[in-house]
Amino acid sequence: MGRKAKFDETTVSSGRGRKAKKQGDPTFPKGVLVKEEKELSHRQRQRARKRLLKKQKLNKLEKTKGKKVEDTLTEDNVKNVTKQLKTNKKRKFLKKQLENNNLSHEDDQMQFDSDSNKSDNREVMRNEQKITKKKLLNSDTEDEIDNYDDIEEYEQNEEMDNEEMDQNEDADSSDDDVDNDVDLFPIEKANKKLKKKQEEEQKLAEEEMHDMTLQQSVFTFPTEEELAEVTNLKDVQQRIKDVIMVLSDFKRLRDVNRSRYEYMNLLRGDLCTYYSYNNFLMEKLMQIFPLDELLEFLEASEVQRPMTIRTNTLKTRRRDLAEALINRGVNLDPIGKWTKVGLVIYSSQVPMGATPEYLAGHYILQGASSFLPVMALDPKENEKILDMCAAPGGKSSHIAALIKNTGVIFSNDVNEERIKAVVGNFHRLGIVNSIICTYDGRKLPSVIKSFDRVLLDAPCTGTGVVSKDPSVKTNKDEVDIQRCCTLQKELLLAAIDCANARSESGGIIVYSTCSVLPEENEWVVDHALKKRDVKLIPTGLEFGAEGFTSYRQYRFHPSLKLTKRFYPHVHNMDGFFVAKFKKFSNIVHKNKEEETLN
């Protein structure tokens, strides 16, 4: 806008503008530039006075301690002792006189050696000198006795002074704590209180633990009649805990007349009663797991594993499937970071096996542990892959989804009834690159070979899936385990023979079981390492426990630590075992074949 123009040639006086005004000197609040010294309060003055007194008394004590009084008095040092006695009596007399005069300030008590009091105390000094001279003239013995008495009085006075000093020090330390607390911020005060509380609580907890250990009742071994009359499972459970406690510190808590073998037998019987296992299988589990971990395994095996589904990536994505199921009232979450296709179902308002998404082939019901062998196999596109024991088709369909319906999948299973489920699932999921056959897996090398990758999910006793099939607890015995073990060895050797060592991208064999027994896992793998030109390689799975390289009196190949074990109480999935082989030669040695036939 600007100012209005004046065309009549009159000058307009320009006043002081906003910028032309002179700014005044800056002003600051009190205490910013120069900190004001605050006067000491009455309480602070008292503390300062006490500290001065304390320093003066400490200086006196150091002086008096430097002068040691000799225990024996001779004729030569009688004069020195009399001088010390005179000075002590002089000080006592002056203190009494000062108290009678009611001197107000405490500093006057410390100045009793000043020059102003010397003239008043001359008469007292003369009287004391006369008394001491008379004592010395009377007899040496009397003089010694008096001197000894005076020394004892002096020592008593010293002790009294020391006690007073200790009390003053305690008071001053408490005053110093108060001063420190005054100087601290509120947060620091609260921190101090918290630390004190924590220390007290820790002491109480340690005392309670000590009392508990002292009050622990010694476990008494039950009689045969008590063992025969089992009426309450709670008593059995408590006895299991007691026996495990005794075995954890056997030397201290044991019964002298009982051996460890008897305690182990008692524990095995109680575990069989409580969890409904047969003696054989319980003994095997006790050999595999430590006692504390055994209880966790047995408890986890009693609980059903959460329902899991696998997204069929040939038809949908996991995000879209999750949104569709959430809209149908399904409560779900991803299984974990280790898989991109799995979902865990917590609750559902509709049957998961009858939703439109299921019928359209967007997902399949599959246990989380069944993802692991296919992830270890790591199939590539346009490969020739064999699934030797494929029914009901969960792993084969997973392979087909990973290779995007390219290449060829041979899905084999010896049971013709179970193979029908494979056909149905493949049609629903839209898998078109599979060949389904029903050969005996042990004879497959004579039918077809040269596969890039082979997956063998061998038949087993199912000790890792007790929650799905509780009949395993009582049905399995040593004969069943031996039968499964021999069948697994034959199938694994056949699977290795089916693989092609000269494959550019493959020559991989994955062996897996849903069992936790070493007879079906490490023994079979160790047997294959001895019979064929294969080696173990890392499975590529990020989690899982290492396989056993030693079990009781048996020793396995050191590379078995590359295998993976999965437990229900640790990984919240069915018990499983996964091993991954790399074949480096197609030669089958004759002596090895003869040994297998024999």
* Numbered residues of the known binding site for S-adenosyl-L-methionine: 389-395, 413, 440, 457
Vertex 380 angle, CA 491 and 397, to 5°? 65
State how far the Cα of 97 lies from the Cα of 181, in Å rounded to an integer. 41
First-to-last C-alpha distance (Å) of the chain: 113
Alpha-carbon distance of 497 to 491, in angstroms, equals 10
CA angle 533, 538, 543 (to 5 degrees): 150
Annotated binding-site residues read 389-395, 413, 440, 457
Q: Judge contact between 95 and 78, C-beta under 8 A.
A: no
Contact by Cβ (8 Å): 398, 374: yes
Strands 564-566 and 363-365: unpaired
**Pairing assessment for the beta strands 453-457 and 508-513 based on DSSP bridges:** parallel
Of these residues, 272, 460, 484, 514, which one is catalytic? 514
Cis peptide before 392 (omega within 30 of 0): yes
Q: How far is CA 555 from CA 523, 545, 550, in A?
A: 10, 18, 4
* Separation of alpha carbons 470 and 281, rounded Å: 13
CA pair distance 541, 549, nearest whole angstrom: 19
Note if 485 is an active site residue. Answer: no
Count of CB atoms situated within 10 Å of the CB of 548? 20
Residues 100, 421: Cα–Cα separation, whole Å: 115
Is residue 312 within 8 A of residue 431, CB to CB? The reply is no
b/e per residue 493-522 (b: at least 16 CB within 10 A):
bbbbbbbbbebeebbbbbbbbbbbbbbbbb
Q: Which helix (H) or strand (E) holds 348?
A: strand 342-348
Cα–Cα distance for residue pair 236/157, rounded to 1 Å: 73
The CA–CA distances, whole Å, from 359 to 201, 315, 393, 405, 424 equal 60, 12, 16, 20, 11
Helices then strands, counting H and E runs in the chain, come out as: 23, 15
Is the Cβ–Cβ distance between 484 and 461 less than 8 Å? yes
CA dihedral over 279, 285, 287, 291, signed as positive or negative: negative
- According to DSSP, the residues that pair with 342 across neighbouring strands are 310
Q: Do 578 and 512 meet the contact criterion of CB atoms below 8 Å apart?
A: yes
Q: Which residues are catalytic?
A: 514
